[in-house]
Amino acid sequence: MFSNNKLCQLLGIEYPVIQGGMIWCSGWRLASAVSKNGGLGVLGAGSMTGEFLKEQIAKVRQETEKPFGVNVPLLFSKAEECMEICLSERVPVLVTSAGSPAAWTGRAHELGIKVGHVVANTKFAQKAEAAGVDFIVCEGVEAGGHNGLDEITTLVLTQLLAGTTSLPLVSAGGYMGGRGLAAAIALGADGIQMGSRFACSVESSASDVFKAHLLKVGTIGTVLTSHGWGPTRVVRNTFSDQLQALERSGASVEEQREHIGTGRSRRGMMEGDLEHGELEIGQIAGTFTEVMNVHSIMEKLVANYTDSVRRLEATLL
């Protein structure tokens, strides 16, 4: 079906769908399930120690021989340790974010590792391309978790980059299935990265309490906190209300950081503290009606993609 697709050819996958690396959500169960079902499953190293990451890589390899990736947010305190493990383990794909991939791409390529980098504006896309990455993930402000300072939407960012990058382009932020994939390809992207839909899957390692809560979020249930220094899309709750009130009152970044403290995201997404934890999720969560397994997500995605393409074809008749 996607034999001519640049992203599928580059990564050796059946469908041009990457499961975004996600703290507390994307361990070996989710990553291996996505890879087994034809996408690229990605371990989220941003909430792992190096040793734990190594075990997770081994577990994915026990489950499947298909390609998989590891996401490392480069500003994370254990980034260097995790990157070294990815290199020594020769993981098939690295997806870096939040920082510059320049120092790593050369060594990764020598080992045959493909590198993608997540960007949220055109300037960082150009820098990533100059750093020698193999593909670009452009993530709009609809997306769950940490977003770019410029707060550009997926729709605009994808069109901006589709015209300027020569690399395979992956559009991220606001996708939950095949209609979105067809739209992204129509905009000029080669594939999509989905995070929230997979965070709310059976195989996600997040708390069941968090997953069940996502079904009640609704379309206006997420907010963007920390404008100007670290925009983050989360489910609205007591924690985010307090953080936004601080922001409105003109509190300094230090004061806002102090309110966030440490361990907030673990408390929310792993431990299921729905009021005082940080619950990262994208706007698309408003469309979720059930916690689906990965097989069903991918099966429905392919069926909806086919329907969407037929609808588009019909407009030419």
Ligand X SMILES: Cc1cc2nc3c(=O)[nH]c(=O)nc-3n(C[C@H](O)[C@H](O)[C@H](O)COP(=O)(O)O)c2cc1C
With beta carbons less than 8 A apart as the criterion, state whether 279 and 269 touch. yes
Least separation in angstroms between residue 210's CB and ligand X is: 9
Phi-psi map region of 223: left, alpha, beta (phi>0 left; psi -120 to 50 alpha): beta
Task: Tell me if 41 contacts ligand X by CB under 6 A.
Answer: no
* CB contact burial 232-254 (16+ within 10 A = b; e otherwise): bbbbbbebbeebbebbeeeeeee
From the list 281, 292, 294, 297, which residue makes contact with ligand X (rule: CB under 6 A)? 281
Task: Tell me if 172 contacts ligand X by CB under 6 A.
Answer: yes
Burial of 160 (0-12, 13-18, 19+ CB in 10 A): middle
Task: Tell me if 194 contacts ligand X by CB under 6 A.
Answer: yes
With beta carbons less than 8 A apart as the criterion, state whether 116 and 170 touch. yes
Task: Tell me if 25 contacts ligand X by CB under 6 A.
Answer: yes
Task: Tell me if 191 contacts ligand X by CB under 6 A.
Answer: no
And the tokens for 296?
Answer: 């069903």
Question: Which of these ranges, 9-17, 159-167, 280-288, 309-317, lies near ligand X under the rule CB under 6 A?
Answer: 280-288
Task: Tell me if 143 contacts ligand X by CB under 6 A.
Answer: yes
Strand order in the sheet with 145-146: 145-146, 232-235, 222-225
Task: Tell me if 298 contacts ligand X by CB under 6 A.
Answer: no
Task: Tell me if 201 contacts ligand X by CB under 6 A.
Answer: no
Question: Which C-beta is closer to ligand X: that of 33 or that of 172?
Answer: 172
From the list 174, 177, 178, 191, which residue makes contact with ligand X (rule: CB under 6 A)? 174
Question: Which residues have CB under 8 Å from 260's CB, separation 6+?
Answer: 243, 278
Least separation in angstroms between residue 194's CB and ligand X is: 5
Task: Tell me if 129 contacts ligand X by CB under 6 A.
Answer: no
Question: Which residues have CB under 8 Å from 262's CB, separation 6+?
Answer: none
End-to-end Cα distance, the chain: 22
Query: How many angstroms separate the CA atoms of 135 and 125, rounded?
Result: 10
With beta carbons less than 8 A apart as the criterion, state whether 92 and 69 touch. yes
Question: Which of these ranges, 103-111, 155-163, 171-179, 294-302, lies near ligand X under the rule CB under 6 A?
Answer: 171-179
Query: How many angstroms separate the CA atoms of 18 and 13, rounded?
Result: 9
Least separation in angstroms between residue 252's CB and ligand X is: 26
Question: Which C-beta is closer to ligand X: that of 30 or that of 162?
Answer: 30
Residue type, 152: I
Question: Which C-beta is closer to ligand X: that of 227 or that of 310?
Answer: 227
Least separation in angstroms between residue 176's CB and ligand X is: 7
Question: Which of these ranges, 77-85, 192-200, 288-296, 308-316, lies near ligand X under the rule CB under 6 A?
Answer: 192-200
Task: Tell me if 247 contacts ligand X by CB under 6 A.
Answer: no
Binders of ligand X: how many residues, by CB under 6 A?
A: 31
Instruction: Transcribe 61-73 into DSSP letters.
Output: HHH-SS-EEEEEE
What are the angstrom distances between the C-alpha of 77 and each of 56, 80, 82, 234?
19, 8, 10, 22
Per-residue contact track with ligand X, 86 to 125, x per CB under 6 A? Answer: -----------x--------------------x-------
From the list 195, 231, 268, 277, which residue makes contact with ligand X (rule: CB under 6 A)? 195
List residues near ligand X by CB under 6 A.
Answer: 20-23, 25, 44, 46, 71, 73, 97, 118, 139, 142-145, 172-175, 193-197, 199, 269, 280-282, 284
